[in-house]
Amino acid sequence: MAKKNQDQADAAPARPKKPAPRAAPGLPWHPAWRWLVSLLLVLHLAAISVAPWNLSTDPALPPGYVAPTGSQPLPPRDSTVWQQPVVPRGLHRFFNDYLNLAYLNHGYQFFAPDPAGSNLIRYQVWDSGGAEISAGEFPNLDQQWPRLLYHRHMMLAAQTGDMGEQSGRLYARHLIRLHGGQTGRVEWILHKLLSPQQVLDETPLDAESTYVVLAEIRETADTTLNPPSEETPVAIPGAGR
């Protein structure tokens, strides 16, 4: 019996041996390269932070400053009395060339701390008989695609108020020509953000009460527009710092 068991044990296939654990491959980069890339990433992130920090900090008057008798309440902005924020100004000077080259010199003021809502343009175009031939609004995600085209229409709507009534009339004339109409109407609308109470009341983001008409302009195809008499220079944030 013992011999039979021994023969069966000899006939059984041998268990395959477990492969030896493979050694972890070495890192492909030399430590010097890893340090260099890490340093460049840190500098890049610092540069991105410095741009809005520099634009959001203003000069300040010294503590306890008292204006001289008979002078204006505040000294001129270019006066040496004003104390400049040393750290953000110094860092911005250090990163200035890189920020301009990479087009990162932004302030992002339109995102914080108190965004005021978004703008949109609603329009209608009628033919000579008074029949509506086109109506719509922009920006419109359903019509403007890809995203860059939508962003372009968003900026056009946002800048209408800054450029005055003349720009609204030009928009109306363009829409009349585009759709082959005779009369057009343009509404400049502010889409307000929800208040905390409206959020608690579960008010929809697109509720009718959140839209406010800021201006309404009507135009006809045969109206002659005079060009503006003069142009107002646009101030570049942070250009004087």
Q: Which residues pair with 138 in a beta bridge?
A: 121
225 pLDDT tier (thresholds 50, 70, 90): low
Please give the pLDDT value at position 125.
95
Whole-number Cα distances in Å, 140 to 116, 169, 191, 207: 19, 21, 13, 17
* Residue span of the structural domain in which 40 resides: 34-61+77-111
Match 């944030």 to its residue by tokens. Answer: 237
Over residues 14-23, the pLDDT tens digits come to 666 666 655 5
CB contact set of 118 (below 8 Å; sequence gap of 6+): 154, 157, 158, 190, 191
Number of domains in the chain: 2
184, two tokens = 């057009």
Same domain, yes or no, for 87 and 165? no
Length reported for the chain: 241
Residues 81 and 157 grouped into a single domain: no
Q: Does 9 fall in a domain?
A: no
The CA–CA distances, whole Å, from 115 to 4, 192, 212 equal 89, 9, 16
Domain presence at residue 22: no
Do residues 209 and 152 share a domain? Answer: yes
pLDDT grade for 72, boundaries at 50, 70 and 90: low
Phi/psi at 217 (5° precision):
-130, 130
Q: Taking 60 as the threshold, does the pLDDT of residue 227 lie above it? A: no
Mean pLDDT, range 148-160, rounded to an integer: 86
Q: In this model, does residue 9 exceed pLDDT 80?
A: no
Number of alpha carbons in the 13 Å side-chain half-sphere of residue 213: 9
* 168 HSE (CA, 13 A, CB side): 21
**In terms of domains, do 100 and 139 share one?**
no
Asked whether residue 86 falls in the same domain as residue 166, the answer is no
**3-state secondary structure at position 185:** strand
The mean pLDDT value of the chain amounts to: 80
Same domain, 123 and 213: yes
Q: Indicate if 158 and 100 belong to the same structural domain.
A: no
pTM, entire model: 0.51
pLDDT of 238 reads 41
pLDDT confidence of residue 241 = 42
